Amino acid sequence: MIVLVRHGETDANRAGLLLGRADPPLNERGRQQAAATAAALRHEVAPLILVSPLQRTRETAQLIGDATGTPVTVDERLIELDYGEWDERRVADLLLDTVERWRADPTFAPPGGESLAALRLRVAPVAAEAFEQAADRTVIVVSHVSPIKALILCALGLDDGYAWRLRLDVASICRLGPGPLGPVLFSFNETGHLH
C-alpha cells in the first residue's frame, strides 16, 4: 500500500496563497493536524517514509516517523510545484484569462515556474519506485497538493488536466494499492482523523 499524506497547515495555506517553493513552518493548527495524522498511521509496521525537502512536509513526516519508529528519507522529487513569480500570491489576484489558460493547458507554466506536465515527469519515477517498494511494506509519501495529485494521476493513467478537479485538504491521507488491472485508488482526501 502507498499512503500519500499532505502536510499540515501553514499560515500561507490559511491565507489561501499559492505555496510552492516558499518554506514556511507549520502553524499551531498544522502541528495539531500533523500529530493527528501521525496517530492515524501509528499502526503501520516499519514503513518506508519518503518526504519532500520543505519544512512543512518534514515536520509532518517526522511526527509520522516518531509514531511508527521509522526514519524519514528526503526525496527532492517530491517538492511542491514551482509557482515561480506566483509563489505566495492568491489565485484570485491573477488575471482570469491567465488562470483559465493555466487550467486548460498542462504544459503552461507560471512565469519562472513549472508546468503540471513537467511535475508529472518529475514524480512519475517516484510512483513507479513506490509501487515496487510497496510490494512488501507500506510506503508513506509526505508531500504537497500538486505532487500528490500527480502521483495519483500517474498511477491511474489519467491526464494531468484532472488535477484541477481533485480537492486535497491539508493533512489529508490518500491510499493507492495494487489491483487486478493495475493501481487502484483505495481512498482520497481522508480527513476523518482530524476531527
Mean pLDDT within 100-109: 96
Which residues lie across from 73 on neighbouring strands? 50
Q: What are phi and psi of 177, to 5 degrees?
A: -150, 175
Give the three cell numbers for residue 34. Answer: 500533523
Mean pLDDT within 55-78: 97
Higher pLDDT pick, 92 / 143: 143
Q: Which of 11, 20, 90 is nearest to 53 (CA)?
A: 20
pLDDT at 3 over 90: yes
pLDDT at 46 over 80: no
List 43, 144, 193, 195, catalytic entry: 144
- Using an 8 Å Cβ cutoff, are 22 and 88 in contact? yes
For the question of residue 195 being annotated catalytic, the response is no
- Using an 8 Å Cβ cutoff, are 165 and 2 in contact? no
Confidence class for position 135, pLDDT limits 50, 70, 90: confident
Mean pLDDT within 104-127: 97
pLDDT at 66 over 80: yes
Q: Residue 69's CB: how many other CB atoms inside 10 A?
A: 11
pLDDT at 169 over 90: yes
The domain defined by 2-194 folds into Rossmann fold (3.40.50)
pLDDT of residue 89: 95
Mean pLDDT within 124-134: 94
Mean pLDDT within 126-135: 92
Mean pLDDT within 87-103: 94
What pTM did the predictor assign?
A: 0.96
pLDDT at 160 over 90: yes
Mean pLDDT within 49-62: 98
Q: Tell me what the pLDDT averaged over the chain comes to.
A: 96
Cα gap 119→138, rounded to integer Å: 24
Q: Which of 126, 163, 167, 118 is nearest to 2 (CA)?
A: 126
pLDDT at 41 over 80: yes
pLDDT of residue 136: 85
The string over 82-94, giving b where at least 16 C-beta atoms fall within 10 Å of a residue's C-beta and e elsewhere, is: bbeebbeeeeeee
Give the three cell numbers for residue 149. Answer: 495529485
pLDDT at 64 over 80: yes
List 7, 43, 193, 195, catalytic entry: 7
What tens digit of pLDDT does each residue of 21-39 get? 999 999 999 999 999 999 9
